[in-house]
Structure formats: C-alpha cells, structure tokens
C-alpha cells in the first residue's frame, strides 16, 4: 500500500504546499508535521505556525495540546501505535527512549517560554514591526486597529469625503461625488462606497500602475478617446448637425407615408441643437433602442431617406463612442473617490498612530524585502525560526 499523501505532506524533510478541499485534513497534516518535528528533537522555539484568523490559531493550538497532552498519558503499546501512524512506521520498532521523549513533548514544547509559536499572520507581522520599528519606518508606539475599529474609521472617512465634495463642488471629488449621488439611488451609492473600502488596496494599486504606465488607463481599457468626456462627445455630435438641413429633411419626410411621418415627428421633437443627444434615439432607433431597419419608405423623398441613413450610421457610432466614454468617465470618477477616501482613511490612521491589518502585512513584507535594512533584519531573525508552517 502506498503512503497516504497526508503522511508525505507531514514529512518535515520536505517543503510542501497543499491545496485540498475544506475539511479534508490540512490542519491535521500541519499538526502532525509539528509533532514529527518535535519528535525529531527540533527546538520548539525554531517552529513558527502561522494562521490567518485568531480562531484558526486557537484551533491549531488546541489540537496540538490534545495530541501531545494525550501522548503523556498513553501506555507504551497505545503510544507506539500513535507515533507509528504519524509516518506510517512500525509500532514494534519504537524504543523506550523515543516513547519517553514523546511523553515529555507537551511540557517541553508548549509550556516553555519562547517555545512553539502559533500565531496569526497579523500578530507575527506586528511582533516583527515592534522589534524593528526604525527599520520598518513605523512609530515605535504604534497601535493596531482590529477589523472592527478599522471599519469604523473607514466609515468615518466617508463623511470626510462628503465634506470634501461639498466644500469644492466643482473640483474632481465634488464632481465625482455628485455624479454618483445623482446617478445611483442611496443604497447603490452606499454599495459603491463599500466596494471602494473593501477593494482599497487593489484600487490604489491600479491607480499607481495606471499612472506609472504599467497598466492600461481607463480610456485604454474601454477603447474610449482619452480626455474627451461624454458631455464633449454629445455636444460635438449635436453641433455637427446643421439645424436648417435637419428641418428641411423633417419637412421632406412629412410628405411620405404614415411611417415616414412618424420619423418626421420624431425629428421635430429631437431637433438640434436644443433637444440634446439622447433625443436622437427617438429618430434613429426603435422604442426598444434597436437601430431602425429602415429610415423611410418608398413614399418619402429618397434624398431625405439616404441622408437619414447616413446620419443613423454616424449616430450609432457616436452612441457607441459615448458608451465607452461613459464607462471610462465613471471609472475615473470611482478612482477619484477611491483615492480621496483612502487618503482620508490614511490620515485618520496616522493621526492615531495606528496600523490596520493590511498595513501590518504590507509593512512587514517591505521590511523583509524592499527596505535597505532587509539583510540586517533577516540576519537578526536567522537562527530564530527554521520551520514555518502556514495554515
């Protein structure tokens, strides 16, 4: 029988990455791996177990307690079976010294100060930053914003954003804010702000990359013409139509059949330049917004029908350009709000000398990789941890 993958993955000599379904035994594998490290007489202080949530850290700790605590009270035969199960070994082969060591592991690993560390990624990062605040560029007295406090601060930044919009209604923030406040109902506007908060890191990252030219900007993404707003496009198209010619064509269409007269009526409703771009859809499209299949019957003057057909093509192209421009414009407005909101949130954190969970991870990652002090920090940490297990 081949050895189960769970046993292979718990072999401390291998570096292993496991993906498996929920409840399929990942944490069990990690706990077994720790047990095998300890049985191999690895210094408990050299083992670091990292989880994402506090609950997961507590769970892992409890399972290890159970396992090692259980061993302390098992008789020789039962303990031999337990230990053999860990690496698919032979229960008969366990010697007395190994059994005796196993019984003492609980006390040694979990009760010695500086022993086995099981902590969340955030707790680990916080400890690292507290040890190297200067190198990490954080205040030595920084506080940590738990998720709830961070959310409260982030919500408060919405009010700063609203105040900034009111203070400068014609500025980029004011315009973006009032645009969505008008376009969206209250609930959807709040949902937009929630999205901006939840995706803060991603949005800021995109803004940086788009500005640095390493990511396509919103115009490139949508295929819109850079710098031309939807309002520009609408006005340009309307201004391009000759009102006198439009009226002449409308009069010509009115001499045709019932259907032609409907088009003529729509034309007088949509007469440029006053009616605006949206009204043109009534001329060139059906009620459902689809392009009309015909712009006139045989009864209408064919010059007028041809003129309208030509204009319909141009209108549809303009409408498509407008659609892209609106998406680009909305995107830019969302990014404007996201950047401003993030700045208010950052300022609120800075004022309190606080770091949130993402800050802890980002600052720790920068400390270990990018900062000039990385080599020094890694040197100081070295000899501290030999085995990292991440659940």
Ligand X SMILES: Nc1ncnc2c1ncn2[C@@H]1O[C@H](COP(=O)(O)OP(=O)(O)OP(=O)(O)O)[C@@H](O)[C@H]1O
d(CA 324, CA 218): 10
Residue nearest to ligand X (CB): 25
Q: Which is nearer to ligand X, 166 or 388 (CB)?
A: 388
Q: What is the CA radius of gyration of the chain?
A: 34
CA geometry: angle 245, 247, 249, nearest 5 deg: 70
Binding to ligand X by CB under 6 A, coded x per residue (else -) over 23-62, reads xxxxxx----------------------------------
Shortest distance (Å) from residue 23 CB to ligand X: 4
Question: Which does residue 156 bind out of ligand X, Mg ion, none, counting CB within 5 to 8 angstroms by kind?
Answer: none
Shortest distance (Å) from residue 26 CB to Mg ion: 5
Q: Give the residue, chosen from 6, 27, 151, 175, that forms a contact with Mg ion under the rule CB under 5 A.
A: 27
Q: Which secondary-structure segment (H or E) carries 180?
A: helix 172-183
Q: Which is nearer to ligand X, 55 or 73 (CB)?
A: 55
Q: Which is nearer to Mg ion, 27 or 229 (CB)?
A: 27
Instruction: Select from 27-35, 139-147, 272-280, 339-347 the region that touches Mg ion (CB under 5 A).
Output: 27-35
Alpha carbon 272 to its chain centroid, in Å, reads 45
d(CA 5, CA 11): 10
Helix (H, G, I), strand (E, B) or coil at 389: strand
d(CA 311, CA 148): 57
d(CA 129, CA 144): 11
Shortest distance (Å) from residue 133 CB to ligand X: 34
Rounded to a whole number of angstroms, the distance between the first and last alpha carbons of the chain is 28
Question: Which does residue 259 bind out of ligand X, Mg ion, none, counting CB within 5 to 8 angstroms by kind?
Answer: none
Extract the tokens encoding 216: 């396509």
Q: Which is nearer to ligand X, 56 or 316 (CB)?
A: 56
Question: Which does residue 179 bind out of ligand X, Mg ion, none, counting CB within 5 to 8 angstroms by kind?
Answer: none
Instruction: Select from 20-28, 125-133, 137-145, 375-383 the region that touches ligand X (CB under 6 A).
Output: 20-28
Shortest distance (Å) from residue 27 CB to Mg ion: 3
Q: Give the residue, chosen from 1, 13, 17, 22, that forms a contact with ligand X under the rule CB under 6 A.
A: 22
Q: Which is nearer to ligand X, 24 or 100 (CB)?
A: 24
Question: Which does residue 24 bind out of Mg ion, ligand X, none, counting CB within 5 to 8 angstroms by kind?
Answer: ligand X
User: Smallest Cα–Cα separation from 391: which of 5, 16, 110?
Assistant: 16
Q: Which is nearer to ligand X, 6 or 297 (CB)?
A: 6
Alpha carbon 47 to its chain centroid, in Å, reads 31
Q: Does 113 bind ligand X (CB under 6 A)?
A: no
Q: Which secondary-structure segment (H or E) carries 104?
A: helix 96-111
Q: Does 294 bind ligand X (CB under 6 A)?
A: no
Q: Is 275 exposed, middle or buried (0-12, 13-18, 19+ CB in 10 A)?
A: middle
d(CA 18, CA 26): 7
Task: Tell me the three-class secondary structure of 113-170, residue by residue.
Answer: CCCCEEEEHHHHHHHHHHHCHHHHCCCCCCEECCHHHHHHHHHHHHHHHHHHHHHCCC
Q: Does 11 bind ligand X (CB under 6 A)?
A: no
Q: Is 86 exposed, middle or buried (0-12, 13-18, 19+ CB in 10 A)?
A: middle
Shortest distance (Å) from residue 52 CB to ligand X: 10
Shortest distance (Å) from residue 51 CB to ligand X: 10
Q: Which is nearer to Mg ion, 26 or 101 (CB)?
A: 26
Question: Which does residue 45 bind out of ligand X, Mg ion, none, counting CB within 5 to 8 angstroms by kind?
Answer: none
d(CA 50, CA 391): 6
List residues binding ligand X (CB under 6 A). Answer: 6, 20, 22-28
């Amino acid at each position: 029988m081949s050895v189960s993958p769970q046993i292979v993955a718990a072999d401390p000599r291998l570096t292993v990455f496991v993906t498996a379904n929920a409840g399929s035994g990942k944490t069990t594998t990690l706990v077994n791996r720790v047990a095998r490290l300890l049985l191999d007489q690895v210094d408990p202080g050299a083992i670091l177990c990292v989880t994402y949530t506090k609950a997961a850290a507590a769970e892992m700790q409890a399972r290890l307690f159970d396992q090692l605590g259980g061993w302390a009270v098992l008789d020789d035969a039962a303990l031999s079976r337990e230990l053999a199960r860990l690496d698919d070994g032979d229960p008969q082969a366990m010697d007395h010294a190994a059994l005796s060591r196993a019984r003492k592991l609980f006390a040694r690993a979990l009760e010695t100060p500086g022993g086995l560390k099981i902590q969340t990624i955030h707790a680990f990062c916080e400890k690292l930053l507290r040890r190297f605040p200067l190198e990490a560029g954080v205040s030595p007295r920084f506080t940590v914003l738990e998720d709830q406090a961070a959310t409260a601060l982030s919500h408060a930044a919405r009010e700063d954003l609203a105040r900034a919009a009111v203070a400068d209604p014609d500025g980029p923030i004011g315009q973006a804010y009032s645009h969505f406040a008008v376009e969206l109902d209250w609930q959807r506007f709040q949902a937009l702000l929630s999205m901006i908060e939840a995706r803060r890191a991603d949005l800021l990252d995109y803004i940086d990359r788009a500005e640095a030219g390493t990511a396509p900007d919103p115009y490139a993404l949508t295929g819109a013409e850079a710098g031309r707003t939807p309002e520009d496009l609408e006005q340009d198209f309307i201004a391009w139509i000759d009102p006198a010619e439009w009226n002449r064509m409308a009069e010509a269409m009115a001499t045709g059949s019932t259907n032609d007269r409907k088009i003529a009526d729509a034309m007088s409703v949509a007469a440029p330049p006053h009616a605006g771009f949206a009204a043109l859809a009534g001329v060139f499209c059906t009620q459902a917004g689809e392009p009309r299949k015909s712009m006139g019957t045989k009864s209408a003057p064919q010059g007028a029908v041809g003129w309208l057909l030509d204009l319909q093509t141009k209108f549809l192209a303009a409408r498509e350009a407008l659609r892209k421009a609106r998406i680009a414009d909305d995107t830019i407005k969302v990014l404007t709000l996201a950047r401003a909101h993030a700045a208010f949130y950052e300022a609120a954190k800075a004022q309190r000398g606080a770091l949130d969970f993402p800050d802890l991870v980002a600052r720790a990652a920068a400390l270990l990789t990018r900062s000039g002090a990385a080599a020094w920090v890694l040197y100081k940490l070295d000899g501290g941890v030999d085995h990292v297990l991440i659940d």
